[in-house]
Structure 1
Amino acid sequence: MESQRSFLIIGLAFVSFMLWQQWQEDYGPQPVQPIEAQQTTPVSQGVPSFDDTQSQQDVPTGNSVPAAVPSNQAANTNRIIEVKTDTLDLRIDLLGGDVVSADLVKFPVEQGSEEPYSLLRSGNGLYVAQSGLTGPQGPDGSASGRPVYSAQSAFYEMKGDTLEVPLTWKNNDGLTVTKTFTFTKNHYDVDVSYTINNQTGTTANVQQYGQLKQVIDAEDDGNMFMPTYRGAAYSTEDDKYSKYSFDKIADDDLKETTPAGWVGMLEHYFVSAWVPSQDEVNTLYSRNQADRYAVIGVLPPADSIAAGETKTIGMKLYMGPKDQESLAELARGLDLTVDYGILWWISQSLFALLTFLHSLVNNWGMAIILITVIVKGAMYWLTKKQYESMARMRNLAPKMQQLKDRFGDDRQKMSQAMMELYRKEKVNPMGGCLPLLLQMPIFLALYWVLMESVELRHADFVLWITDLSVKDPYFVLPILTGLSMYLLQKLQPTTITDPMQQKIMQFMPVAMSVFFLWFPAGLVLYWLVSNVITLVQAKMIYASMEKRGISSK
């Protein structure tokens, strides 16, 4: 097998994979189109009922209230409070105590912009984190609708290492609920707790819930060359990480009861997730509301608070970047939202190495160059075997032609003669393919590392390349990559005589350069450096082969 054919296989396989991803997006099953509605039309909150573990009803009886984020927010400014920390800028709606807006202050929406990235948001791209207490005595379980909490201030700002934002609700029967958001410096996870003081004279039965609600038709920044997933995900004891797309939510409600677990909403580089107590058995669920909103949530076990007692329960809400270390500490499998695919176990190892190299050079571009050198160096013995095997096969070409002339159309005798020739010459016909197959998982794993790791978002390299997660603005790297592929093609001898195959091989560097125009600069940098190293290695291998009397021509 010729080396040029190896590059053709890699290129065609990679491009075919990208085309398949885009076909699935363009022509695969699509979400149900949203139903248009007037801004003032009331819609259901989708609050789970107390007996959700049995009935899975979407909305409690009589619970029909305005949308979680009113379209006319100016008319409701008195019920929106603002919370600022070193990592988050939040808006909390006193109706239900939902987080209706979350800006990530350390992540600009565009490089150099002062506008922070909005993870949770209102308006046409509705995406909110709802939570509360349902049940016979729960504030969210009453027929009158969601509770309206009171707050001591309309603005909270972190001054120390922690910040508590208490919201209070009480009824006429003597039940008081304090919903407290606790923020920690340098953290994106928030403790959401409920302190229930029961002075009603009877036992109070409540059940907390947390759910993420997002409009289905929000825009996605993914494309053929940077396929990304926007949708829901969850974790159970049996499956650490499962995607649950908006299509699946539209077709079938999720209902899973599991020890521990979590639910989340994903988009490129960022995630929101509700993480209940990992020591309890929780119920995970999903909803499709009015064919417009997708909801995924979690119900911890119900709680009973005896008369005269006070009890505190709660769970965590994460709103931030897909930081693998932080996510792994919160819950089992939450770090897998950094979706490296089926090769995640290789990708995580490569990411750990890439992170270590970055700690040494403090430049992600230089770290990519170093990890490429290391990976190519580690696979040098495979590359050497591949080149030597191809050279031996080329040297056998005259003898193979003699066998063809001798046995003609007798395939059985031809096959036996070929196997005898391979045995005698100590040549493995698969020797050129096997090293390539072993290298492909490494390449694909590193591809997903460079695609999915939020650390490379807006990461500077040198000169004109100021963001390794987007395309080279002047296309210098793709052009250099195409040139390196052309030089590598010229360096390697070929026995291809078919004119059509020759034209295809000559066109491959140009075709791959065109595709690379839209690839993230970090990935193109990796491919360019890999090609340059391969050129050097090929020179070394050919020189060694010549000394041992193995012709490379």
Structure 2
Amino acid sequence: MESQRNILLIALLLVSFLIWQQWQTDKAPQPETAQSTQTSAGEETFVPEADQVSGEIPTGEVPAAASRRLVTIGSDSLRLTVDTQGGDIVRAELLEHDRTLDSDDKFVLLSNTSGFVHVAQSGLIGRDGPDGRAEGRPVYQVEQSDYQLAEGQDSLTVPMTFTNEQGVVFTKTFTLKRNEHVVEVGYRIDNQSANPVQVQLYGQLKQSETDPDAKGGSMLMASAYRGPAYSSSETRYSKYDFKEVREANLNRTTEGGWVSMLQHYFVSAWIAPQDQQNQLYTRFLANQGQAIIGFKAPPVTVEPGSEQHVSAKLWLGPKLQDEMAEVAPNLDLTVDYGWLWFIAQPLFKLLQFLQSFAVNWGLAIILTTFVVRGIMYPLTKAQYTSMAKMRMLQPKLLALRERYGDDRQKMSQGMMELYKKEKVNPLGGCLPILVQMPIFIALYWVLMESVELRHAPFFLWIDDLSVRDPYFVLPILMGASMFVIQKMSPTTVTDPMQQKVMQFMPIIFTFFFLWFPAGLTLYWLVSNVVTIVQQWFIFRQLEKKGLHGKAAS
């Protein structure tokens, strides 16, 4: 099949994929906007229902305490704001990531405002848990209001203490380490009472279903997933979107596991104790339009005169696959490459490897293109050889058309007999296209999901490869390269409508690519340039064999 039909096939596959992707995004009913009544940090929380653990668990409003305050804890990577009532993290800034390109403001992952809530909560419930008291969650005492990782210091631990009426001392600690996005949240239970104490650790993420600042996909570009996800011993990675949380509560027991809230490039995730049987759960707060996903660890008993320590880890940061894989099994799968992950993951590894030498991510994309097209060269050569053979048959095909006229059945039979006689496969030129499309789609998700490309510059005006070219130079060059490919491959299409469609293909593709990430457009442009060079070289080889010259004549 000659190149013009291949281009039409690419367009059909590409547009079909993008329309399907957008349909996947839009098919779910949009949530109703809920006005949150929460105006100050941590006024309301949720803990598991009373029938799920021992002891009576309140689920209503938590009374405010006059002595509560907000505490800032900072490292080189994170700046956290912790509410001393309950010890929840109500704000998290990622110091290595700007909110927008060249902005002085840092990216805010967790926040608690009247318009949007995304907080990380944790506590001790159970029969004697301080977070299960009828009078409300505990207000921890802390010595300072600001803690910062000092120069030369590798870790920072901030303790907060609460003593209940029976004399049990609960110390909640937050530990941050240099160059890490993991927060270790621990509890030391010092039982100075006369009776055994039973508590149960939980951690959960609460987020508003509607984000007024969220940006959806534009034109045919799909938007990234935002919402809950989890991992268990039975399911390595599974999304559990807001609609599912509204309809049914997740209730799964697993060894280890984690729960998370995903968004474009970033993730917050509680990693449950990995050597214990934990319960993963969700709940929807309909009156506030908020979804909760969390875990509960097994109950522990602390005997009188003894103490015990329980802890969990909280990831707050970008989707860095290598680092997340070390923190918890399958946490790196939150970098969601979709159903072509088995192609996308090696592509990202290749891109990452080449970037370690090239330094510039744009150059790494160019080198990746060379590698991919080099591997596909045997298929490309077979494609153009098939094209040349097909062109050689054009006089005989035209003779068949004149012979059979509008009799499509006899025309098809005659063509099949001719192909069989001449030993030509009419689909021989399609295989490289069918191979390249999954690679293109996989690379699309690599560039969409890989935070390494966020705000990554190329050169001159291309200062962010993850968004469209602001001046549309790359899409225009890409369209021009398609036009050159068309001219180098003279069409043998005789149908006037098909001829018009072929003539407009570079323009149509240019329009599509106006909205694509600059990195993806760069890949397609370089791929086209490589195609032009390979096509010229292969046709020169065919001319030496006399095949291409005969076809052209």
**What range describes the TM-score normalised by the shorter chain of this pair?**
over 0.9
Inter-partner Cα distance in structure 1 for 2:448 and 2:85: 39
In 2, the alpha carbon distance for the partners of 1:481 and 1:434 equals 22
In the alignment, is the contact (CA less than 8 A) between 1:42 and 1:64 conserved in 2? no
Equivalence for 1:70: none
Q: SS at 2:326's partner residue?
A: helix
Mapped pair 1:196 → 2:192: no
Q: Which residue of 1 aligns with 2:171?
A: 178
Q: Matched residues in 2 for 1:543 and 1:47: separation?
A: 73
SS at match of 2:52: coil
Name the counterpart of 1:80.
70
Equivalent residue for 2:470?
Answer: 473
Residue 21 of structure 1 pairs with residue 12 of structure 2: no
- Residue in 1 that maps onto 2:507: 510
Q: Counterpart in 1 of 2:92?
A: 102
Shift of residue 60, structure 1, vs aligned partner: 2.7
Aligned equivalent of 1:72: none
Task: Provide the C-alpha distance between the structure 2 equivalents of 1:541 and 1:380, rounded to a whole number of angstroms.
Answer: 10
In 2, the alpha carbon distance for the partners of 1:129 and 1:495 equals 63
Q: What is the SS of the residue equivalent to 2:367?
A: helix
1:383 alignment partner in structure 2: 380
Structure 2 CA distance for partners of 1:480 and 1:413, relative to 1, 3 Å: closer
Match 2:129 to one of 131, 138, 142 = 138
State whether structure 2 residue 533 is matched by structure 1 residue 543: no
Q: Deviations over 1:218-275 (max 9, x none)?
A: 1322313252111111111222111111111111111111122111011111000000
**1:99–1:129: 8 Å Cα contact kept in structure 2?**
yes
Distance change >3 Å, CA 442–CA 104, structure 1 → 2: same
**Segment drifting more, 97-106 vs 404-413:** 404-413
Q: Which moved more, 1:41-50 or 1:502-511?
A: 41-50
Describe how 1:65-464 pairs up with structure 2 within 5 A.
65=62, 79-123=69-113, 124-159=115-150, 160-218=153-211, 219-224=213-218, 225-290=221-286, 292-402=289-399, 418-464=415-461
- Asked if the contact 2:42–2:90 (Cα under 8 Å) also holds between the matched residues in 1, the reply is no
Aligned length: 543
Question: Do the aligned partners of 1:35 and 1:290 also contact (CA within 8 Å) in 2?
Answer: no
Of stretches 76-85 and 460-469 in structure 1, the one that deviates more from structure 2 is 76-85
Structure 1 Cα separation of the partners of residues 207 and 63 of structure 2: 16
1:437 Cα offset (Å): 1.3
Give CA-to-partner distance per residue, 1:356-377, whole Å, 9 cap, x none.
1111111111111111111111
TM-score, normalisation: structure 2? 0.92
* TM-score (structure 1 length as normaliser): 0.92
Query: 1:36 deviation in Å?
Result: 5.9
1:134 alignment partner AA: I
Shift of residue 133, structure 1, vs aligned partner: 0.6
Question: Cα offset for 1:166?
Answer: 0.7
Mapped to 1, the partners of 2:409 and 2:470 lie a distance apart of 57
Given that 1:63 and 1:143 are in contact with CA atoms closer than 8 Å, whether structure 2 keeps it comes out as no
Q: Distance in 1 between matches of 2:66 and 2:370?
A: 58
* Pair 1:543–1:66, CA change in 2 (3 A): farther
- What is the CA-CA distance between 1:332 and the residue it aligns to? 1.6
Give the whole-Å Cα distance in 2 for the aligned partners of 1:247 and 1:491: 51
Which letter maps to 1:223? G
1:10-63 superposed Cα distances (whole Å, 9 cap, x missing partner): 223223332333344445322243156485899751211465379xx9x93364
Q: Percent identity?
A: 53
- Relative to structure 1, the CA distance from residue 504 to residue 417 in structure 2 (aligned partners, 3 Å threshold; closer, same or farther) is closer
Q: Give structure 2 stretches of 5+ with no counterpart.
A: none
1:121/1:61 Cα in 2 relative to 1: closer, same or farther (>3 Å)?
closer
* 8 Å Cα contact 1:264/1:272 also seen in 2: yes
- Residue 353 of structure 1 deviates from its aligned partner by 1.1
Provide Cα deviations, 1:87-137, integer angstroms capped at 9, x if missing partner. 011100001100000000110111211110000012122110000011110
Distance across 1 between alignment mates of 2:294 and 2:81 = 20
Which residue is 1:31 aligned to? 31
CA RMSD of aligned residues (A): 2.5
Secondary structure in structure 1 of the residue aligned to 2:547: coil
Q: For residue 109 of structure 1, what is the amino acid of its counterpart?
A: R
Q: 1:326-377: CA deviations, max 9, x gaps? A: 1111112111111111111221111111111111111111111111111111
Q: CA, structure 1 residues 524+137, in 2 after alignment: closer, same or farther (shift >3 Å)?
A: same
Q: Which amino acid aligns with 2:72?
A: E
CA distance in 1, matches of 2:21, 2:417: 44
Closer, same or farther: CA 227–121 of 1 in aligned 2, 3 Å: same
* 2:535 alignment partner, SS class: helix
Paired with 2:193 and 2:205, the residues of 1 have a C-alpha distance of 32
Query: How far off is 1:153 after superposition?
Result: 0.9
Read off the aligned partner of 2:19 and give its amino acid letter.
L
Unaligned runs of 5+ in 1: 68-74
User: Partners of 2:502 and 2:539 in 1: how far apart?
Assistant: 21
Shift of 1:165: 0.8
Aligned in 2, Cα 1:344/1:66: closer, same or farther, shift over 3 Å? farther
Shifted more, 102-111 versus 397-406: the winner is 397-406
Distance 2:191 2:408 in 1: 88
Q: Which residue of 2 aligns with 1:71?
A: none
Kept in 2: contact 1:482–1:513 (CA 8 A): yes
Q: Deviations over 1:287-325 (max 9, x none)?
A: 110251011111121211122221111110000000000
CA distance in 2, matches of 1:66, 1:352: 51
Per-residue CA deviation, residues 392-447 of structure 1 (Å, 9 max, x unaligned), is 22322333455566678988877665554334322223212222212222121112
Q: Is the 8 A contact 1:191 1:317 kept in 2?
A: yes
Q: Is the 8 A contact 2:46 2:59 kept in 1?
A: no
Counterparts of 1:62 and 1:452, CA distance in 2:
37
